[in-house]
Structure 1
């Protein structure tokens, strides 16, 4: 069994959801199901209990999951050690991420990467995370930290770092929005909203509002970047949606409150991205290997 197959099983064991795991790896649920069936045939036992509503690990599946996780870790360590033994890498690596990711997720990646590859010059650009994939496609950077797109493409390599929950937030300052939210019954259609200009956050907010019966939201402003959106909400200009990590690290945190925990909002799958054709670049390959090694709690 190759490491990619083992990784698929480990991720499926965590999500217990064929469709989500398959989507994250740009394959159909039926293809993933056949891969698991081949594993079970090779091992001579059932790894998963399946029915129309749920998936769960069998006792054998739990044992195999532990084995697979160990094998993946050893494989990642082997790749890193081989990269370390290779000729010292030198050159430039251009990276792109949001301002928040620059201090929430990038430091441990850079610490590990720099310890192994001190000869690589790092050039960091920050901006709207919704532009991260475009930055890659235009050749402006080699690596970006971004949320998995709603419609992933096989041309992009994506290495997941962690899931980031999304929250609906409102201002705490005295303003029209706060007064509207203090009513016994909230008129969601009557509220002003701060919308992302584009990207997966925009589609998730529209979907959540639709679930609240809001078909044509009253958009007060469209902003680029989650940090700017939190600031607009903090000023009392409307209700918005932002990743929890952005809220936690915002200097305006005390001026906003979580209005809805977003249990029914699909979280961001945050990861390291690169063009698949650039995997042959040893510097890009080394950074991707680093992303596979670093674990976020």
Structure 2
């Protein structure tokens, strides 16, 4: 019996909705449904009844849900115990970060942390929130700087850090490039380059929200996955993009980053995330330092 299959079953059983359960686990509904079916085949019994409109537990499913919760809690506690033992022997912290945090907050944070804890080795992973959170749950990361999800997994703990200021990226030959500030109204006829919503929901929704609040339709010309790709497309003159200000630290020729007018200055949330209920002295040290110095970091966000 696979623990991952059990986690999928518990999420589906608690939500009684495969779409919401899949979103909670950052996976596709089809994959979640396949894992639940594999668990049913492994156990030789039907755990859920599914129709196009509803999901319900069978009697065996209700019994398994109670036992599975206890088993997963015990497994997570055991994994946390041995991760902590290993960390005490080797002072290593594995930190994940979304791209804008990796370009902006993280270098400052790690510079300060290295001065205070030169004995600690930091291993870095840069990726999207939807890929970093599963790494936390599986124990492959100890701490992550992410966009807080709309429906946070109860096995993770989140601490809001700051809001990243959004700016407009335009080609340096664009008519708006000489301005110090622009309003969304100035972009009403501009083709937009936006991130794919599934991988970057906060950034995607921010652009859509700003245009909706201005009473304008967003003219999406291109959807791209990576922030660096978006900025490179801007440099070719394909369109403009609304991005976190820290993106301006990415070395890209031919791009200007312009502040939004105060009335349009919407911001992007950044949070620290870690596995709930785990003890980790090194992680706690870096969190304590991060919270103490947060006002200084936030001034540049």
Residues of 2 paired with 1:261 and 1:241: CA distance?
A: 13
- Higher mean C-alpha displacement, 132-141 vs 285-294: 132-141
2:266 aligns to what SS in structure 1? coil
Q: 1:241: how far off?
A: 0.9
Residues of 2 paired with 1:263 and 1:187: CA distance?
A: 14
Q: 1:267: how far off?
A: 1.0
TM-score normalised by the chain length of structure 2: 0.54
Q: 1:243: how far off?
A: 0.9
Gaps of 5+ in 2: 1-86, 178-184
Residues of 2 paired with 1:113 and 1:196: CA distance?
A: 32
Residues of 1 paired with 2:236 and 2:251: CA distance?
A: 12
Residue 109 of structure 1 is matched in structure 2 by 109
Which runs of structure 2 are paired with 1:1-297 in the superposition (5 Å)? 90-128=90-128, 131-152=131-152, 154-173=154-173, 188=188, 191-197=190-196, 198-215=200-217, 217-247=218-248, 249-252=249-252, 255-258=255-258, 260-261=260-261, 263-278=263-278, 280-295=279-294, 296=297, 297=299
Give yes or no for contact 1:166–1:261 (8 Å, CA) kept in 2: no
Per the alignment, do residues 146 and 140 of structure 1 end up closer, same or farther by CA in structure 2, a change over 3 Å counting?
Answer: same
Residues of 1 paired with 2:165 and 2:156: CA distance?
A: 23
Gaps of 5+ in 1: 1-86, 179-184
1:231 aligns to what SS in structure 2? helix
- Higher mean C-alpha displacement, 250-259 vs 228-237: 250-259
Q: 1:191: how far off?
A: 3.7
Give yes or no for contact 2:169–2:240 (8 Å, CA) kept in 1: yes
Per the alignment, do residues 116 and 92 of structure 1 end up closer, same or farther by CA in structure 2, a change over 3 Å counting?
Answer: same
Give yes or no for contact 1:160–1:269 (8 Å, CA) kept in 2: yes
| CA deviation profile, 1:70-124 (whole Å, cap 9, x unmatched) | xxxxxxxxxxxxxxxxx97734321112444334212332234334444433211
2:263 aligns to what SS in structure 1? coil
Give yes or no for contact 1:147–1:270 (8 Å, CA) kept in 2: yes
Aligned structure 1 segments of 4 or more residues deviating by more than 6 angstroms: none
Aligned length, in residue pairs = 200
Q: 1:145: how far off?
A: 1.5
1:163 aligns to what SS in structure 2? strand
Residues of 2 paired with 1:120 and 1:187: CA distance?
A: 47
Per the alignment, do residues 204 and 93 of structure 1 end up closer, same or farther by CA in structure 2, a change over 3 Å counting?
Answer: same
| CA deviation profile, 1:146-180 (whole Å, cap 9, x unmatched) | 233345555433334432111233333369x99xx
Q: 1:208: how far off?
A: 1.5
Q: 1:254: how far off?
A: 5.1
Q: RMSD value over aligned CA atoms?
A: 3.4
